[in-house]
Structure 1
Amino acid sequence: MVSPGPQPRPRGWPEPLDRSAALATGVLAAMPAALGCLDPAGRVALLNAAGERLLDRPAADVVGRPVTEVLCAGTAAAVTRVCHEAVASGGPVSLEVPDPWGGPGWSALHAWPVSDGAAFVFVDVTARRQAQDEAEAARRAAETARRAAERAGARTALLAAVTGELSGALDSESALGSLARLVVPALTDGCVVTVVDREGRARDVGSWHVDPARRPLLDRYAEVRLDTLPTASPVARALRSGSEAQQPVAAVLELMPPGPARDLLVELGPDTAVVLPLTADGRAVGVLTLYLDPGRTLDDDDLATAREVAAQAGRAVDRVHRQSQQAKLAEGLQRSLLTDLPTIAGAQVVARYVPAAEAARVGGDWYDAFLHTDGDPVVVIGDVTGHDTAAAAEMGQLRGLLRGIAHYSGAGPAEVLRGLDAAMAAMHTGTLATAAIARLEEGGTRLRWASAGHPPPLVADPDGTVTVLADGLGDLLLGVDPTTVRRESTVPLRPGAVVLLYTDGLVERRDCDVDTGVGRLRRHLAALADRPLEQLADELLARMLPATPGDDVALVAICVHPPR
């Protein structure tokens, strides 16, 4: 079959190129977005109907004019730039710009190269931008709420930690020294804690910085700043009048004289200093100084939290001051009830008393030393049960009773304890006590001793041999049964031997029973047996007791020197 050739067009139909041009013209006319073209000289070469409507000018008035005469300056500059970039890159370029005709919305400006210049079109994107802005605002609000919740949680945790740290503090300086680590970084970048002691001296007791590299700087600054503190500085005013201050560090530096303190503060580089007084009964007992780096501020909630921390710290300082005063009174009372040690020819005797760390926790521990009626040295240790002023008062009376019974009767240790037990049954009913008596006989070559429920005495020879005088002779404590049989024992003493009597506070702790504690004491005494007696007593206390003893402790030691 032969293929038919080209068919003739119906009369009146346009040529294909004419049809394409007509179609393009129709598309441009119907296009809802404003479209135009720039020639290489930056003149408008084309503007569609949407552009005419937006400009409110016919295309004939615009075509051939520079774009800067057609559009406002900012829009003209944007069109020129994207058209140049499109021509240079050979591809499309897009940019979002404010509404080119001054409205409140936004348009996407698209440009692409054409045969003789570049075309550009404005597409309204106001609705999308609004949706994006609303989403971003919601995200920021959620982030702000999250951060606020985190900061609120951190402030709550901080107050709980401060309460826990300060509520049971027995030493205000050690407790407040750690306070700086608690408030950093929850409230501030750096912190220095100042405490006024009972004598009215201000001392920086703790510092901390969020930046490990600046912690040594802050430590050195805290060591020297109070020595050159200007009277007009915020810290000095807070100590003097209890006033709060928030001041730029630059202003503080203007008040400081040249020297190490000023140089260190400059090197630390904080932007703001916030000074909060620690007050009690209307007077400043310390200062909390917060150093904020540039860009950090305290909002109202942070400041309220910092004030609460300062208030708790002030109450802690005041409480410890009061407890310390009470402890001094109680210790003075107890020491007044103890006996001055006698001078014993040919022998040396030392005694020590250490009160419990807890304020006003006096006890019934006592020691005594005296000469028997026949001239033999006698040492006594005792402990009335209880930790109050009643126990201290009972202790003073029992100490006097025992000394009187021993002096009048001239009896040995066991009989003296039996007499004291009988006297307690008649005059001190309800009182319980332990006691141990050691009497050095025959020129100090023999020890006669008895115990009423008390930890065993120790004997240390000069060569380091230590003997625990237990032998099952602990017997019943005093105040239980006055008819109980009291026994005593004798052991030989080598020349220069040390006899040590002590109360249970030396060997008993929550994590250590008496037997374990006696074992530790025995080892330390063996290591110290060749020391002078005064040094031996001090070293034993240093090695046996914790930094804050939970119970009062008494000890007495006697050494009879060999005859010349």
Structure 2
Amino acid sequence: MSAAVPPRGDDEAVRTKTGDAQPGELTTRRLATVRSHPALTRLAELAARLTGAPWAQVSLGADSQAVAAAAGSDVSVTGAEVPLAAALCAAAATSAGPLVVADAAADERVASLPPVRSGPVRSCLGVPLRGQDGTVLGALCVFGPEPRTWRASDVALLDDLAVAAVTELELSALAVQYEASRLRWQLSIEAAGIGSYDWDLLTGELEWDDRLLEMFGYDRAGFGGRIEAFYERVHPEDLPRVTRALEAAIAACGEFEAEYRVELPGVGTRWIFARGRALGDESGRAVRLLGAAYDTTARKDTDTRLARVLETMSVGYASYDRQWLITYVNAEAERLIGMSREDVLGRNVWELFPAAVGSPIEEHYREAVATGQPVSFDAHYPDPLNAWYEIRATPTPEGLSVYFLDVTARRVAQEEAEDARRAAEDARGEAEAAREGAERTAQRMQLLSGVNEALAATVGLEEAVGRLARLVVPGLAQWCIVSAVDDRAGEDSGRGMRDLGWWHEDPALREVLERYASLRLPALAEDAPARRALRSGQPVLVREAAVQAIGSALHSAEARALLAELAPRSVLFLPLHAGGRVLGLLSLFSSDPERHATDAVVGTGLDVAARAGLALDNARLYTQQQRLAEGLQRSMLTSPPEPDHLQIVVRYRPAARAAQVGGDWYDAFLQPDGGTVLVIGDVMGHDVDAAAAMGQIRSLLRGIGYSSGGTPAAVLSSLDATMQGLGVETTATALVARVEQTAAEEREGLTRLRWSNAGHPPPVLVSPEGTVTVLDGRHPGLLLGVAPEFPRADSELAVERGSTVLLYTDGLIERRGQSLDEGLERLVGVLADLAGADLDGLCDGILERMLPASLDDDVALVAVRLHPQDRPRPPEAGPATH
């Protein structure tokens, strides 16, 4: 750049001056707040005067040039925005050093710019304004109307003024930032409703801000400015405690903290929480107490109402904070654990109950906190409590809420029944072993032992029959068929018989045997050996030529052909007795002459038949009891409606224990405005009382939902209040969903799903493309029967037509040794696999894949499919009912 300035006399060469100043950081954002400043105007005037130029400018910005200050004949341009490409100062701002232009019209760098091409500028000198980090902030420029040779001293002067301009910009920006920060802090304090105080301990002067005066019911004129004004407002019962806390903080030159009541004239009692710190002099003596306070009355009122509700609950309740300290126990909890709340509050739960450490209790509690999902389980706590508890743990923002019932009596009864069953089985086994005698072989003993163990563990008729068929092959025969008498057909002719189990030792003949078993009973003549054994109740033995003896009594040619392929040589038909009646028939077939029915085989077969008869009788009784229990449960559940283009499918599967009814339920009904309501729920407990409570709650919810036409949250709130008012003393989870649609949504092919959750597992959505989503919605609300006055909220989602929504009870995803998250993840995978199935197939597939052979808990499902409305209602949705 020095070569562009011709020498004049002894002037030194033009130089670039950099690094002489260290301005603070000046960002583009802060730069925008100081684009117009009087000090910059004075610098522009000084630059014009000292260089003898008629015009000067300070311009700022990167994307465009804003004139922050101007001096000379035209200062009206101050504040104007000039595009980067049209600004002379932009050339100076982006140059590596000073921009020195002696003849603007002849200098290709600026000749095309508007101030030169059609304006008065004929010469120009400019230097960039650079921040501490080298960022270009703008430029300081002087201009002339005639060509001019600029001196090196002019360049040095502008360099010095540029440093001063950057420093002024930095100071202005810092001042603006400080004022903004101070205003934000003041607004935050006011929004939080916090008041502050300053007590001079040497003079006794007490200063309160306006917010604190308002909290204590004073105006500025009526406040005396002494500590007595504070003591006058504090409730007399709290004053000694507060005074001691103040004195302790002053004596130790430490912190003060207290929550206390104040009595306000004409207003009543309010709660205040205050904190402060005593400040000391060089000797350590407290000289001032500074602090803040805020009104906690609303929180105290809420806590009081909640405590009243919790104290009346018939369920034990305890709450823990995130450090596992016990923050609350109700009266029932005190009774169940045998300790008063004074003994437990503030204590660590793991230190107070050390036997829970490492147990399922700790495992489930920590799982609930980690996953944010409620858990339910049974657990035993040893001495000194020595009791079984049914526990439901629900995570909260503060920590964990725990509800628990003493179920020791129920567990003891179950264990006693199991002990009695085992004792009876042991006694039978000993008596049978004594009768068998020394002639029984080791193989026979092993077979009988296997039959005993296998059949004792069966509860279903098909399961018992299927196990028996596999047990006797190959010990007693090469293949067998086990049949059961159908109770509905009676015992008069033996025609009411079903083949329920079969097995062949040769895998290649198992399909042949299966086909034969499906054909033989309808084709049996009245004089067939199998029917004679059923009618007489006595064994029937065909020692030789069994194909001819049995085949001659078969009316089906295909059955005779299959029998010939199976080629039995001998067969033994053994009736299965129990309670003075024939319950079934065990048919033992042998094709090998060396394995015919010897006396030993017949004797062992009779023993097996006796045991099998008892097992079948137990299975029959269990099936009857299970049908009775399921019928009782289903009698309290109704068929779902069939609204237009909505298909609703429900399923209920009872627990595996006989005559065990529980508290799971579902419901679906239409509200008067046409909205479809879906309900799923679970009453705490697994007995007849739980089923009765379920019936009450279901009926109440159905009536409230229909008559009020309210949203799910409103229905749950009304139900909770009604339960309390009618004295329904139980707790339950429930999820209520409503399917609704506006005319605009119908045109768009959408339907709105609105739901509210009372501590229940979340619903699951399957999109038309098969994507599976768990609808967590808002945080699960409180269980029903805990605190009716607490508000409930609705969640909502616009759902595509063709989607499927699934509601379910926790028995579907909760298993021993499996967390709820794992169960829910498994359900999502199953739904993804079954997404293309029809709705009935989807529900049946879920139950088949998710449930074990023996259920510990009831399971209920409600599934709704939103069929597209731009085509006729599909046949599988049934006839529409409104």
TM-score range, shorter chain: 0.5 to 0.7
Query: Equivalences for 1:163-312 in 2 at 5 Å?
Result: 163-200=452-489, 201-209=496-504, 222-250=517-545, 253-254=548-549, 256-257=551-552, 272-291=570-589, 293-296=592-595, 302-312=601-611
Q: Is contact 2:720-2:784 (8 Å) kept?
A: yes
Opposite residue 289 of structure 1, the aligned amino acid is S
| Deviation by residue 1:140-161 (Cα, 9 ceiling, x = unmatched) | xxxxxxxx97953322222221
Opposite residue 159 of structure 1, the aligned amino acid is L
In structure 2, the CA distance between the partners of 1:513 and 1:241, relative to structure 1 (3 Å rule), is farther
In structure 2, the CA distance between the partners of 1:523 and 1:191, relative to structure 1 (3 Å rule), is closer
Structure 1 CA distance for aligned equivalents of residues 521 and 571 of structure 2:
15
Structure 2 CA distance for aligned equivalents of residues 561 and 255 of structure 1:
55
Q: Is contact 1:432-1:480 (8 Å) kept?
A: yes
Query: Equivalences for 1:267-416 in 2 at 5 Å?
Result: 272-291=570-589, 293-296=592-595, 302-345=601-644, 347-416=646-715
Opposite residue 477 of structure 1, the aligned amino acid is L
Shift of 1:553: 2.5
Q: Is contact 1:173-1:195 (8 Å) kept?
A: no
| Deviation by residue 1:462-509 (Cα, 9 ceiling, x = unmatched) | 233333222462233223444544333233334444332222233233
Mean alpha-carbon deviation: is it higher for 522-531 or for 358-367? 522-531
Partner SS state of residue 342, structure 1: coil
Shift of 1:456: 0.1
2:776 matched to which residue of 1? 470
Structure 2 CA distance for aligned equivalents of residues 286 and 171 of structure 1:
15
Q: Is contact 1:232-1:255 (8 Å) kept?
A: no
Q: Is contact 1:354-1:554 (8 Å) kept?
A: yes
| Deviation by residue 1:6-42 (Cα, 9 ceiling, x = unmatched) | xxxxxxxxxxxxxxxxxxxxxxxxxxxxxxxxxxxxx
Q: Is contact 2:681-2:734 (8 Å) kept?
A: yes
Opposite residue 177 of structure 1, the aligned amino acid is G
Partner SS state of residue 651, structure 2: strand
Stretches of structure 2 that go unaligned for 5 or more consecutive residues are: 1-436, 490-495, 746-750, 871-882
Shift of 1:454: 0.7
2:209 matched to which residue of 1? none
Shift of 1:340: 3.3
Partner SS state of residue 584, structure 2: strand
Query: Equivalences for 1:440-455 in 2 at 5 Å?
Result: 440-443=739-742, 445-455=751-761
In structure 2, the CA distance between the partners of 1:334 and 1:150, relative to structure 1 (3 Å rule), is same
Q: Is contact 2:763-2:807 (8 Å) kept?
A: yes
Structure 1 CA distance for aligned equivalents of residues 643 and 771 of structure 2:
25
In structure 2, the CA distance between the partners of 1:473 and 1:289, relative to structure 1 (3 Å rule), is same
Matching of residue 503 in structure 1 with residue 809 in structure 2: yes
Structure 1 CA distance for aligned equivalents of residues 642 and 562 of structure 2:
57
Shift of 1:354: 3.3
Shift of 1:245: 2.8
In structure 2, the CA distance between the partners of 1:206 and 1:493, relative to structure 1 (3 Å rule), is closer
In structure 2, the CA distance between the partners of 1:452 and 1:295, relative to structure 1 (3 Å rule), is same
Partner SS state of residue 545, structure 2: helix
Opposite residue 552 of structure 1, the aligned amino acid is D
Opposite residue 606 of structure 2, the aligned amino acid is R
In structure 2, the CA distance between the partners of 1:331 and 1:428, relative to structure 1 (3 Å rule), is farther
Q: Is contact 1:435-1:452 (8 Å) kept?
A: yes
2:863 matched to which residue of 1? 557
1:436 matched to which residue of 2? 735
In structure 2, the CA distance between the partners of 1:342 and 1:219, relative to structure 1 (3 Å rule), is closer
Shift of 1:164: 1.8
2:821 matched to which residue of 1? 515
Structure 2 CA distance for aligned equivalents of residues 245 and 363 of structure 1:
46
Structure 2 CA distance for aligned equivalents of residues 202 and 178 of structure 1:
18
Point out which structure has higher relative CO (alpha carbons under 8 A, 6+ apart).
1
Structure 2 CA distance for aligned equivalents of residues 439 and 517 of structure 1:
26
| Deviation by residue 1:181-227 (Cα, 9 ceiling, x = unmatched) | 32234334443322223344323333445566776665565455444
Q: Is contact 1:346-1:561 (8 Å) kept?
A: yes
Q: How many residues align?
A: 417
In structure 2, the CA distance between the partners of 1:476 and 1:308, relative to structure 1 (3 Å rule), is farther
Opposite residue 306 of structure 1, the aligned amino acid is G
Q: Is contact 2:735-2:756 (8 Å) kept?
A: yes
Partner SS state of residue 583, structure 2: strand
Q: Is contact 2:778-2:795 (8 Å) kept?
A: no
Q: Is contact 1:280-1:314 (8 Å) kept?
A: yes
Mean alpha-carbon deviation: is it higher for 420-429 or for 499-508? 420-429
Query: Equivalences for 1:25-40 in 2 at 5 Å?
Result: none
In structure 2, the CA distance between the partners of 1:518 and 1:176, relative to structure 1 (3 Å rule), is same
Structure 2 CA distance for aligned equivalents of residues 318 and 382 of structure 1:
35
Alignment TM-score, normalising by the size of structure 2: 0.42
Q: Is contact 2:547-2:564 (8 Å) kept?
A: no
Structure 1 CA distance for aligned equivalents of residues 814 and 542 of structure 2:
53
In structure 2, the CA distance between the partners of 1:180 and 1:542, relative to structure 1 (3 Å rule), is closer
In structure 2, the CA distance between the partners of 1:248 and 1:440, relative to structure 1 (3 Å rule), is closer
Structure 1 CA distance for aligned equivalents of residues 842 and 550 of structure 2:
53
Stretches of structure 1 that go unaligned for 5 or more consecutive residues are: 1-147
Structure 1 CA distance for aligned equivalents of residues 757 and 769 of structure 2:
26
| Deviation by residue 1:426-461 (Cα, 9 ceiling, x = unmatched) | 545542321001123452743332111111012333
Opposite residue 401 of structure 1, the aligned amino acid is L
Opposite residue 273 of structure 1, the aligned amino acid is V
| Deviation by residue 1:319-351 (Cα, 9 ceiling, x = unmatched) | 222222222232222222113333434644333
Structure 2 CA distance for aligned equivalents of residues 207 and 531 of structure 1:
32
Opposite residue 439 of structure 1, the aligned amino acid is R
Alignment TM-score, normalising by the size of structure 1: 0.64
In structure 2, the CA distance between the partners of 1:439 and 1:181, relative to structure 1 (3 Å rule), is closer
| Deviation by residue 1:391-446 (Cα, 9 ceiling, x = unmatched) | 33322211111122334444432232233233334545542321001123452743
In structure 2, the CA distance between the partners of 1:389 and 1:459, relative to structure 1 (3 Å rule), is same
Structure 2 CA distance for aligned equivalents of residues 408 and 230 of structure 1:
63
Q: Is contact 1:450-1:473 (8 Å) kept?
A: no
| Deviation by residue 1:284-304 (Cα, 9 ceiling, x = unmatched) | 221122345434566666544
Structure 2 CA distance for aligned equivalents of residues 378 and 393 of structure 1:
22
Partner SS state of residue 463, structure 1: coil
Structure 2 CA distance for aligned equivalents of residues 451 and 163 of structure 1:
48
Structure 2 CA distance for aligned equivalents of residues 557 and 220 of structure 1:
37
Q: Is contact 2:480-2:588 (8 Å) kept?
A: yes
In structure 2, the CA distance between the partners of 1:217 and 1:491, relative to structure 1 (3 Å rule), is closer
In structure 2, the CA distance between the partners of 1:216 and 1:381, relative to structure 1 (3 Å rule), is closer
1:112 matched to which residue of 2? none
Given candidates 451, 455, 472, the residue that maps to 1:162 is 451
Mean alpha-carbon deviation: is it higher for 268-277 or for 499-508? 268-277
In structure 2, the CA distance between the partners of 1:531 and 1:219, relative to structure 1 (3 Å rule), is closer
Structure 2 CA distance for aligned equivalents of residues 204 and 536 of structure 1:
30
Structure 1 CA distance for aligned equivalents of residues 645 and 503 of structure 2:
57
